[in-house]
Amino acid sequence: MSMNGLVDTIQQRGPLMIGDRGFSLIEGMIAGAILAVGLLGISGMQAMTFSRNVDANELTRVTTLATDIMDRIHFNRRNVIAYNGIDTSVACTINATTQPMARGDCDQWRALLSSTFAANLTGLRGQVAVTVTGPTVPPLNQNLVVLTMTWTGTTGANKTARPRQIILRSVVAPE
């Protein structure tokens, strides 16, 4: 190819257009900044999700422990009042001679609250209060059972302790 042929080829292509130069430095920096903000947002959401997951795990385990004793109370509905005053931070005070089922339920529930299922639930405590409710004339023998579970929960990677509580209420009537 001669020199004239090369010059002819360059002239046919014409001068470069302004829009044909590719990315400029400023466009690349803006794209990088947008990407960085997006990645920071994603990492922040991941940390928050982990924290909520820890809370949900604790709440699920405590609710399972609470429903265990509530199911036992419903099963022994004729002797509901015997469960009044249960506090897992002290020994069971239910008379084992007159109320063997309620005493056994209390002992088993206390053991469950100190088992490996309740691990990492610092200061877990369960309290049961039973009060007679409903009309007295005619007597319906309904009892309101209030179950309170308290513990010190943790959240996130830094393990910040904070008090937590759930309360279950149920009306129990004899069959």
51 within some domain: yes
Task: Please state, in angstroms and as integers, the Cα–Cα distance from residue 169 to each residue in 60, 67, 121, following that order.
Answer: 17, 11, 22
Is residue 1 one of the residues assigned to a domain? no
What residue numbers bound the domain in which 136 lies?
A: 24-172
Residue 17 lies in a domain: no
Residue 3 lies in a domain: no
The answer to the question of residue 2 being in a domain is: no
Residue 85, in any domain of the structure? yes
- pLDDT tens string, the chain, 175 residues long: the values are 556 655 555 555 555 555 556 668 888 899 999 999 999 999 888 877 776 777 788 889 999 999 999 999 999 999 999 999 999 999 888 988 899 999 999 999 999 998 888 888 888 999 999 998 877 777 788 999 999 999 988 765 566 778 899 999 999 987 7
In a domain, 105, yes or no: yes
User: Is 123 inside a domain boundary?
Assistant: yes
Look at the chain and report how many structural domains it folds into.
Answer: 1
Rounded distance between C-alpha atoms, residue 58 and residue 161, angstroms? 13
Termini Cα distance of the chain: 107
